[in-house]
């Protein structure tokens, strides 16, 4: 086979490409702009590995026994250019030299071959590079032959083998689809190898072989292509960075064809010193202006031409047709424009035969439909009707309409088409505004995000402020945003100027690229919620930078499993920012991160007041390091949550020293779920008695305390310097003796305690009786008391009902959950509620009240002015009783 002839034929000059058609393969190859395409394997393996690139994937697959490779990918993904590069490489002796014969066919060109023909005729007369004397040798040795079939999806008839009588004789005449099906099925020229390219269509199910999905250009390939397209490296960098910033988040940017279009438009604008487009809509305005100008039509003809293209676009979208016949084109109004359609459409077939027409780009198809809607002078409310009509077929139509409804966006087009229909535009804007406002009052994040995309396309700051009113629920979770969503959200928030809460709750993987896009929004957010999210190190870096530059006062990273290394990065932002609260519960932090935290807390610029380290394994050594910060005058920490941090008594001396150092601003310490024990309590109680200690809240829930701790607590509470107003001792074995000692302290006039939690502390009825005495003593300041999960029954709790009814009792909150209450307590309960002037909430969960109590409870709550809430969950009520409880909005059940 004459490789020189094949090379000459493949690289012969073709027709001039349209701006939408992509750079011609011949131009790509000759100008050395070919970039190896990525395959789907690149998503699961090393993207830089050689095997991930299409050229190598084809070579590897052809060594298979199947000897058949099927390339799939969307329009413009570079399949055609890759196949031509393959053939050129073979003709130059670079690869596939084990195949003496390579036949390259484009199925869309073979569609014009009507009637029947044999394989011999096809090879001799429709390939042009096979000497007649070589044909017998070719047919005798099929293993020496490689067929390259492009555009398989363009085959007019089905390639289903069952739809044809397959042939096996190379001299047998058959239809073109039958010949192709026979070759691919192996009944004709069995043993030949194939490389087939097709869009993902139903025809693929009839093929067997190695499937290779073509991804096209990811970021590195785009960079390489831009560098080859622009002679000037500075211009290449400027164009590429701008594209990545404004368009890089669209899937279409993986298309080499689209990248060529963008490069061509950018180069034209840059050469003219014009501004580059900020949105996809602006890009397509520039493309359409360029194409219309190239036709040299007057205003009326240009408008008529766009109208015809719009009708064709609508027809193709609705009927899911990829092409139209000449008769259909005439029905759309193309009679006088068929010689001009090449700039917008692909034309298949010769003028003397039956031609078909199709769009180069599905995006331009939708854009032309949008423009034609606003050109229409006949249909009131045309835009809304068109959206409804095409809602399941057109992905970008409403985005393009949103952009074109803005004067600045459509002005370049109006200079060529005349003024667009103002009534149509006004109708659309009314619909757009109303629909957006309604959407933003709801809680569907996908609808919110789509609204942001529409606003982004408008590039109208005042419209954003007009639509996003205070009633908009912008605080709902926008977790798992795509890169495209990040760009749209960032545009909207930047227009607004600030955001109360950026809620990214449950974001599966916040990448560096996404965080970079959202960085301006982060700087404008007063609160950032990233709880139950996963952040890359790069994303944490952008977050840290945004914190240092922004207005964020609260950051929630709880359950984000951040880890020490990423926290170290975050600390660079914490050192100098306006952050007051940071929640780091369950972040996989250890003692190793405490040095960085201390450095941040004592930076001199830190304003951090609340630090939540719940369920991080910092241990005693970590807390000891933290206490160095607490003793610094530069540390402003007031609330320290150390719930479940694997602490013991060993670190309590350091904490005690910090509390009474005179420098610590701590007001609240949470030591729940640690092993503090008596020795730890003793150390802390000494600091509580120190005049410089400012602590007001101390929590020891499930902290291995016993009754032996109570003398130390009693001494602290009775101290004149103790400022504690809240103490939680729940789930500790204090017992009767220890609790009675606490009651002695509570009775003292100097005791400032207002909230006391003693749930599941092994309390007895005598303790309840003593608590009642304390509450009615006239000296107690207690406003909140939790004594649930004690089996004292109606008789034990009666002491508390009597106290609540007493005029000296100040209780506002009482928790007697799971204390064995029955209907027998009803009279005392209701009497207490009626008599109390202070009680607001009552916790009665997990008791044994029945339907018999319901009418009286509802009545007493409805009559009470001060009672706000009673919790009756998990009592013994029937469905009928629950419907009665529903009549009172103060009852939770």
pLDDT tens per residue, range 807-836: 999 999 999 999 999 999 999 999 999 999
What is residue 42's predicted lDDT score, i.e. its pLDDT? 47
CATH of domain 763-893: 3.80.10.10
Pairing of strands 101-106, 68-72: unpaired
CB-neighbour burial class of residue 319 (10 A; exposed 0-12, middle 13-18, buried 19+): exposed
DSSP category for residue 53: B
Contacts of 63 (CB under 8 A, 6+ apart): none
What is residue 154's predicted lDDT score, i.e. its pLDDT? 76
Pairing of strands 891-892, 610-612: unpaired
Each residue of 248-279: pLDDT tens digit?
989 899 999 999 999 999 999 999 999 999 99
What is residue 797's predicted lDDT score, i.e. its pLDDT? 98
Nearest to 517 by CA among 533, 499, 493, 496: 493
List Cα–Cα distances, 812 to 167, 790, 872, in angstroms.
Answer: 92, 21, 17
Dihedral Cα 361, 367, 369, 371, nearest 10 deg: -140
- For the beta sheet containing 324-325, the strands, ordered from the edge strand earlier in sequence to the opposite edge, are 324-325, 356-359, 345-348
Low-confidence ranges of the chain (pLDDT < 50): 42-48
pTM of the predicted structure, to 2 decimals: 0.85
Contacts of 726 (CB under 8 A, 6+ apart): 668, 696, 697, 698, 699, 753, 754, 755, 756
Contacts of 880 (CB under 8 A, 6+ apart): 851
From CA 757, how far away is CA 823, in angstroms rounded?
Answer: 25
Pairing of strands 38-39, 210-216: antiparallel
CATH 3.40.50.300 fits 3-216, yes or no: yes
From CA 806, how far away is CA 449, in angstroms rounded?
Answer: 56
Is residue 499 within 8 Å of residue 524, measured between CB atoms? yes
Q: Where are the domains positioned within the chain?
A: 3-216, 219-276, 284-424, 763-893
The token duo for 494 is 């930047």
Q: Which helix (H) or strand (E) holds 347?
A: strand 345-348
- Angle, vertex CA 832, rays to CA 830 and CA 837, nearest 5: 120
Q: What are phi and psi of 579, to 5 degrees?
A: -60, 130
Residue by residue, DSSP assigns 92-112 as: TTSS-TT-SEEEEEEHHHHTT
What is residue 721's predicted lDDT score, i.e. its pLDDT? 95
Contacts of 604 (CB under 8 A, 6+ apart): 634
From CA 506, how far away is CA 845, in angstroms rounded?
Answer: 31
């Amino acid at each position: 086979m004459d490789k020189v002839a094949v090379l000459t034929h493949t690289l012969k000059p073709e027709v001039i490409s349209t701006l939408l058609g992509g750079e011609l393969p011949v131009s790509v190859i000759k100008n050395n702009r070919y970039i190896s395409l990525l395959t789907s394997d690149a998503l699961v393996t090393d993207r830089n590995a050689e095997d991930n690139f299409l050229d190598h994937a084809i070579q590897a697959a052809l060594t298979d026994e199947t000897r058949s490779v099927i390339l799939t990918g969307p329009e413009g993904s570079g399949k055609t250019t890759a196949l031509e590069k393959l053939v050129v490489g073979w003709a130059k002796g670079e690869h596939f030299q084990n195949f003496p014969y390579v036949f390259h066919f484009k199925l869309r060109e073979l569609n014009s071959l009507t009637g029947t023909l044999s394989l011999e005729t096809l090879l001799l007369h429709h390939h042009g590079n096979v000497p007649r004397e070589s044909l017998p040798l070719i047919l005798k040795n099929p293993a020496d032959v490689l067929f390259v079939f492009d555009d398989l999806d363009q085959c007019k008839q089905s390639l289903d083998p069952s739809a044809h009588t397959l042939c096996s004789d190379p001299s047998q005449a058959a239809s073109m689809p039958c010949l192709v099906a026979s070759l691919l099925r192996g009944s004709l020229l069995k043993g030949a190898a194939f490389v087939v390219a097709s869009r993902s269509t139903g025809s693929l199910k009839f093929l067997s072989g190695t499937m290779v999905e073509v991804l096209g250009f990811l970021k590195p390939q785009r960079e390489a292509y831009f560098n080859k397209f622009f002679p000037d490296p500075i211009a290449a960098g400027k164009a590429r960075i701008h594209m990545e910033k404004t368009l890089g988040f669209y899937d279409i940017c993986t298309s080499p064809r689209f990248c060529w279009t963008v490069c061509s438009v950018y180069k034209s604008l840059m050469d003219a010193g014009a501004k580059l487009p900020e949105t996809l809509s602006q890009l397509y305005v520039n493309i359409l202006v360029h194409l219309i100008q190239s036709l040299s039509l007057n205003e009326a003809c240009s408008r008529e031409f766009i109208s015809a293209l719009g009708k064709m676009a609508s027809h193709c979208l609705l009927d899911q047709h990829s092409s139209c016949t000449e008769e259909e084109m005439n029905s759309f109004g193309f009679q006088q424009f068929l010689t001009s359609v090449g700039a917008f459409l692909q034309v298949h077939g010769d003028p003397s035969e039956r031609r078909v027409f199709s769009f180069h780009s599905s995006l331009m198809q939708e854009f032309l439909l949008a423009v034609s809607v606003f050109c229409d002078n006949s249909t009131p409310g045309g835009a809304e009707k068109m959206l409804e009509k095409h809602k399941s077929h057109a992905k970008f139509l409403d985005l393009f309409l949103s952009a074109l409804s803005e004067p600045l966006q459509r002005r370049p087009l109006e200079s060529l088409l005349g003024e667009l229909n103002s009534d149509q535009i006004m109708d659309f804007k009314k619909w757009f505004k109303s629909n957006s406002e309604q959407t933003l009052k709801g809680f569907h994040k996908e609808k919110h995000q789509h609204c942001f995309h529409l606003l982004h396309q408008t590039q109208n700051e005042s419209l954003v402020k007009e639509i996003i009113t205070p009633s908009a629920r912008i605080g709902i979770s926008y977790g798992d945003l795509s890169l495209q969503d990040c760009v749209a959200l960032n545009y909207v928030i930047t227009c607004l100027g600030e955001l109360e809460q950026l809620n990214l709750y449950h974001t599966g993987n916040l990448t560096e690229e996404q965080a970079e896009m959202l960085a301006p929004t982060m700087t404008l957010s007063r609160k950032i919620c990233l709880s139950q999210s996963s952040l890359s190190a790069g994303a944490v870096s952008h977050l840290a930078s945004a914190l240092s530059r922004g207005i964020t006062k609260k950051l929630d990273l709880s359950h984000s499993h951040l880890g020490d290394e990423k926290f170290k990065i975050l600390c660079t932002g914490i050192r100098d920012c306006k952050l007051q609260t940071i929640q780091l519960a369950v972040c996989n932090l250890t003692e190793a991160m405490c040095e960085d935290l201390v450095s941040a807390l004592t930076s001199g610029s830190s304003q951090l007041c609340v630090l939540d380290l719940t369920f991080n394994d910092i241990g005693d050594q970590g807390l000891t390091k933290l206490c160095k910060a607490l003793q610094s005058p530069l540390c402003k920490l007031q609330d320290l949550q150390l719930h479940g941090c694997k602490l013991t008594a060993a670190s309590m001396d350091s904490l005690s020293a910090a509390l009474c150092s005179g420098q610590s601003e701590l007001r609240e310490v949470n030591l729940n779920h640690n092993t503090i024990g008596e020795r730890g309590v003793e150390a802390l109680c000494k600091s509580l008695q120190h005049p410089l200690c400012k602590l007001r809240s101390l929590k020891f829930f499930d902290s291995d305390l016993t009754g032996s701790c109570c003398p130390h607590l009693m001494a602290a509470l009775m101290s004149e310097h103790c400022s504690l107003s809240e103490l939680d001792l729940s789930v500790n074995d204090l017992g009767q003796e220890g609790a009675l000692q606490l009651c002695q302290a509570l009775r003292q006039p100097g005791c400032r305690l207002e909230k006391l939690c003693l749930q599941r502390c092994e309390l007895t009825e005598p303790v309840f009786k003593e608590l009642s005495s304390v509450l009615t003593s006239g000296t107690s300041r207690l406003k909140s008391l939790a004594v649930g999960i004690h089996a004292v029954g109606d008789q034990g709790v009666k002491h508390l009902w009597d106290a609540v009814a007493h005029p000296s009792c100040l209780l506002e909150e009482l928790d007697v959950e799971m204390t064995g209450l029955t209907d027998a307590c009803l009279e005392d309960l209701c009497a207490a509620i009626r008599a109390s002037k202070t009680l607001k909430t009552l916790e009665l969960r997990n008791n044994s009240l029945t339907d018999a109590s319901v009418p009286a409870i509802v009545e007493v709550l409805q009559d009470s002015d001060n009672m706000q809430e009673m919790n009756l969950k998990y009592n013994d009520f029937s469905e009928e009783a629950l419907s009665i409880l529903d009549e009172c909005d103060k009852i939770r059940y």
